[in-house]
């Protein structure tokens, strides 16, 4: 199957009843003078370009732990054309809703070609799926004095612009685009809604285990830039960094991330969140995403957002922290959040009297990192008269002695209906319930298609759909968690 667009002709492949087109450049290769520049349109090509295999991944520093990398491996595909996308479609004729997936990875790792993101099930159900790569780490998110900020977000906007201009040729409707993502991908989604340049590109949005709080001020972002310059022994400008080999830059980036996030130097107290993330620069991102939502930004976009019930179980059970965390260490980790650790821990102990330090760690960190900020974003939307549908993914596997919980990333194969894929199987275990995947996947299809997942919006009643084998809509679930963080987050 061949598709021709102004950029050129691409040859895809048919897999069963689904057509796939992979590795299509949506922007010029980010190398040379374009390495730290805003994305440029892809150059046209002559003849027929093969689009039957995934394209290169955007290079990123190997900052993940070996344990997490083994459970959730990122593909590494060498090459220069890293700003590419992949398409699954039932047919190139017609005009179907489109789901655009932005991968997670803390803004430093990840790839749109991760096998669990295979879009065949969505295509089977009448949705055109696009997964994208974007620049990460220093190339994508370091604030540089001589280049535009938020290059990774601008890559995402370039991909959405390409989709608007070309997806009709692949059977998609450019007026019915849902942009979705998980973790840093979800943070990207909510940040995009605050960016004026996204106007007209997004009809619906889904945020999975992300929020609008993960942004730096320019002042805080400049600390990262300064420290990278110190690590490399040069002036931290794009002009200087262009001379640094990729591997050396990755090593220096890892060193800076470790130093700033270690919690040992009071100068780096702001880095309780991610070290590299979007920046409020007054131009590409004029305003904090939550404040922008409160002011009505993205009001034309239908939104579904949510979290997993035990997000931080991913960083506790598999790493062994579940068996070694002490009360003293718990106090130290909570104090790093810039709050009265004793008061916060006591508030949780009152509600969870039988919880050990590891269970309290998971509850507190999950709420601080994702659950409560997601609620705050939903509340900001409601204040602007623009409601959202909110969910909590609550299914818990039996892996890791039942101590994992509904952890970060666990829902992804249920969303894509890819339980047969080995990615993440070490978390969910073999034999995860296909019936739950059927429910979750069909819910996402319904929202992408209709803008309504099937439960009431989050308003003054704070209604949330708790997704499990038997899903139920609950009112202000675990409201104490929200109240603990009033005035603190």
The band of 239, judged by pLDDT with boundaries at 50, 70 and 90, is very high
Beta carbons of 412 and 424 less than 8 angstroms apart? yes
pLDDT digits (tens, 9 = 90+) for 194-226: 999 999 999 999 999 999 999 999 999 999 999
- Side-chain half-sphere exposure of 452, counting CA atoms within 13 A: 5
Beta carbons of 349 and 343 less than 8 angstroms apart? no
* Catalytic residue chosen out of the listed positions 227, 311, 392, 411: 311
Cα angle 372-374-375, degrees, rounded to a multiple of 5? 65
> Is 331 designated active site?
no
From the centroid of its chain, how far is CA 374? Answer: 13
pLDDT digits (tens, 9 = 90+) for 254-264: 999 999 998 88
> Is 311 designated active site?
yes
pLDDT digits (tens, 9 = 90+) for 346-363: 999 999 999 999 999 999
* Catalytic residue chosen out of the listed positions 59, 113, 183, 374: 183
Q: Where are the domains of the chain?
A: 2-210+286-300, 311-317+358-484
- Max CA separation in the chain (angstroms): 68
Task: In whole angstroms, give the CA distance from residue 22 to residue 42.
Answer: 15
Which is the CATH superfamily of the domain at 2-210+286-300?
Alpha/Beta hydrolase fold, catalytic domain (3.40.50.1820)
pLDDT digits (tens, 9 = 90+) for 49-103: 999 999 999 876 666 788 999 999 999 899 999 999 999 999 999 999 999 999 9
> Is 346 designated active site?
no
Model pLDDT, residue 63: 65
Beta carbons of 117 and 101 less than 8 angstroms apart? yes
The band of 487, judged by pLDDT with boundaries at 50, 70 and 90, is very high
C-alpha separations of 348 from 253, 336, 344, 485 in Å:
36, 17, 6, 11
| Buried-state track 66-78, b at ≥16 Cβ within 10 A, e below 16 | eebeebbebeebe
> Which residues neighbour 342 within 8 Å (Cβ) at sequence distance 6 or greater?
331
């Amino acid at each position: 199957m061949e598709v021709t667009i102004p950029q050129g002709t691409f040859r895809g492949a048919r897999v069963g009843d689904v057509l796939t087109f992979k590795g299509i450049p949506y922007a010029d290769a980010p190398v040379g003078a374009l390495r730290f520049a805003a994305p440029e349109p892809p150059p046209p090509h002559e003849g027929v370009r093969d689009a039957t295999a995934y394209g290169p991944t955007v290079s990123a520093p190997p900052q993940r732990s070996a344990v997490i990398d083994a459970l959730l491996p990122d593909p590494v595909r060498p090459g220069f054309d890293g700003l590419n996308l992949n398409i699954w479609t039932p047919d190139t004729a017609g005009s179907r809703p489109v789901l655009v997936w932005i991968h997670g990875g803390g803004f430093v790792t990840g790839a749109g070609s991760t096998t669990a993101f295979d879009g065949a099930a969505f295509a089977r159900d009448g949705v055109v799926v696009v997964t994208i790569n974007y620049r990460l780490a220093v190339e994508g998110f370091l604030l540089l004095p001589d280049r535009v900020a938020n290059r990774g977000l601008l890559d995402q906007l370039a991909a959405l612009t390409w989709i608007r201009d070309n997806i009709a040729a692949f059977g998609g409707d450019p007026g019915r685009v849902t942009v979705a993502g998980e973790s840093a991908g979800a943070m990207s989604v909510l940040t995009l809604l605050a960016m004026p340049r996204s106007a007209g590109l997004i009809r619906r949005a889904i945020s999975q285990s992300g929020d609008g709080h993960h942004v730096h001020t320019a002042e805080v972002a400049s600390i990262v830039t300064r420290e990278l310059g110190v690590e490399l022994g040069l002036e931290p400008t794009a002009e200087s960094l262009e001379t640094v080999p990729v591997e050396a830059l990755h090593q220096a980036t890892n060193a800076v991330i470790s130093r700033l996030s270690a919690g040992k130097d009071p100068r780096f107290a702001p880095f309780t969140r991610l070290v590299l993330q979007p920046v409020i620069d007054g131009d590409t991102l004029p305003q904090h995403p939550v404040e922008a939502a409160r002011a009505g930004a993205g009001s034309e976009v239908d939104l579904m957002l949510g979290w997993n019930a035990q997000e931080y179980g991913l960083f506790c059970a598999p790493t062994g922290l579940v068996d070694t965390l002490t009360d003293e260490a718990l106090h130290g980790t909570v104090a790093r959040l810039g709050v009265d650790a004793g008061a916060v821990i006591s508030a949780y102990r009152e509600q969870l009297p039988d919880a050990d330090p590891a269970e309290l760690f998971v509850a507190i960190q999950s709420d601080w990192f994702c659950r409560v900020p997601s609620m705050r974003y939903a509340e900001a939307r409601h204040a602007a008269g623009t409601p959202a549908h909110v969910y909590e993914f609550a299914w818990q596997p039996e892996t890791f002695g039942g101590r994992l919980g509904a952890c970060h990333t666990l829902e992804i194969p249920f969303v894509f209906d890819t339980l047969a894929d080995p990615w993440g199987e070490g978390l969910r275990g073999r034999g995860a319930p296909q019936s739950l995947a059927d429910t979750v996947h069909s819910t996402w299809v319904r929202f992408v298609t209709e803008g309504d997942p099937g439960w009431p919006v989050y308003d003054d009643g704070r209604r949330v759909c708790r997704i499990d084998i038997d899903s139920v809509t609950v009112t202000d679930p675990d409201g104490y968690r929200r109240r603990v963080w009033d005035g603190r987050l």
